[in-house]
Amino acid sequence: MSKTVTIAIDAMGGDHGPYVVVPAALGLLKAHQNVALVLVGDQETLYAELHRRGVDVGERLAVQHASQKVEMHEPPSQALRTKKDSSMRVAIDLVKQGRAQASISAGNTGALMAIARYVLKTLPGIDRPAIMTAMPSMIGHTHVLDLGANVDCTAEHLLQFALMSSVLVSAVDDNEAPTVGLLNIGQEEIKGNNQVKRAARLLANSSLNYVGYVEGDDIFKGSADIVICDGFVGNVALKTTEGVAKLISHFLREEYRRNLFTRLIALASRPVLQAYREKIDPRYYNGASLVGLRGIVVKSHGGADEIAFTNSIRVAIREVEKDIPQRISNRLQSLLVERPAVV
């Protein structure tokens, strides 16, 4: 039997707070016998929510009180300074104290990054943590980072992102040497800005499985297992992806609702549309990893429903089981020993 994995969950974060977190947690506990969860937040609310569902705390389910909550649009520095007893902060503190092996929040991304970085610190050799998620591709999925933690990255930062993510992906996807692509634009000569050109040279000289430049559409073709970019570009790519997917769903729904005949077709098409949705449904891709920290922190989408939030807990469990921060640290150490001058 595998040893118990304990995850601290910010139960007050996101658009729905405990009303999504609690049922997701309960469902997950049933499916994963080796997992224990700590729900962090206002204890009165949390106990009420548990009792309403006829559940009590026990060996694998605990409540940890936190008197504050980080607001969705609160500036990160303010959250860091004034919200020391927030559900987000306390969940990360539990990881720092070794009482949990990972924490999850659907709250304010900027605040989560700031607090996680302040409390847990970055791994030696890593300047900045990055946010990484999987996106669907024709042949499986592609991991993309950074998705918004860092704007104005240097080439060295991009190299660090590639190193960290290669370690993570090789462990969680059982992929010995994941391929790494550097996001760029297609025009010749004016190709790339200086930061990207320099990063390409660093990647080509690294021990990573670097496959060269990729473009935005390569994320979905599966041209590389990992796509590296700065946080500004990555965030635009992520939001664009969400926007296109929603637009397409909107138009499909509109067409299927046009008249009685199209409504009947929609009914008949249900299994097809359902199967299709499961392949690209963002809920099944929910759970972005904050990589580069001395601890595991996963960010759920703020609007996550029960299915989506459950998936983010699974992302955290996988990273705990594979001991990701330690693996990244070991890899960085071995690189520093091999080539002292270069990370």
Of residues 121-140, those binding a copy of itself (CB under 8 A)? 136-138
**Helices first, then strands: H and E counts in the chain:** 12, 11
Decide if 319 contacts 291 (C-beta within 8 A): no
The verdict on 27 binding a copy of itself (CB under 8 A) reads no
Q: Between 2 and 259, whose beta carbon lies closer to a copy of itself? A: 259
With CB under 8 A as the contact rule, which of the stretches 13-21, 24-32, 55-63, 239-247 interacts with a copy of itself? 239-247
Query: From the list 87, 165, 206, 241, which residue makes contact with a copy of itself (rule: CB under 8 A)?
Result: 241
Decide if 139 contacts 105 (C-beta within 8 A): no
Distances in Å between the Cα of 132 and the Cα atoms of 38, 39, 88, 205 are: 24, 24, 19, 23
With CB under 8 A as the contact rule, which of the stretches 7-15, 28-36, 108-116, 290-298 interacts with a copy of itself? 108-116
The verdict on 260 binding a copy of itself (CB under 8 A) reads no
| Per-residue tokens: 70 | 């980080």
Angle of CA points 274, 278, 280, to nearest 5°:
120
C-alpha dihedral, 266 to 270 to 275 to 281, nearest 10°: 70
Query: From the list 109, 170, 209, 300, which residue makes contact with a copy of itself (rule: CB under 8 A)?
Result: 109
Report which of 99, 96, 101, 98 is spatially closest to residue 119, judged by C-alpha positions: 96
Decide if 201 contacts 118 (C-beta within 8 A): no
The verdict on 221 binding a copy of itself (CB under 8 A) reads yes
Shortest CB 234 distance to a copy of itself, Å: 9
> What is the footprint of a copy of itself within residues 307-326 (CB under 8 A)?
none
The verdict on 247 binding a copy of itself (CB under 8 A) reads yes
Shortest CB 133 distance to a copy of itself, Å: 14
> What is the footprint of a copy of itself within residues 141-180 (CB under 8 A)?
148-152
- Cite the DSSP H helix spans in the chain: 18-31, 43-52, 76-82, 87-96, 109-120, 155-172, 194-204, 218-221, 231-256, 260-280, 306-321, 324-338
Rg (CA), the chain: 21
Query: From the list 193, 207, 330, 334, which residue makes contact with a copy of itself (rule: CB under 8 A)?
Result: 193
The verdict on 119 binding a copy of itself (CB under 8 A) reads no
The verdict on 211 binding a copy of itself (CB under 8 A) reads no
The structure tokens 């409390």 sit at 119
State the binding string over 46-85 for a copy of itself (x if CB under 8 A, else -): ---------------------------xxxxx--------
Query: From the list 124, 204, 276, 342, which residue makes contact with a copy of itself (rule: CB under 8 A)?
Result: 276
The verdict on 244 binding a copy of itself (CB under 8 A) reads yes
Shortest CB 124 distance to a copy of itself, Å: 23
The structure tokens 């024709």 sit at 138
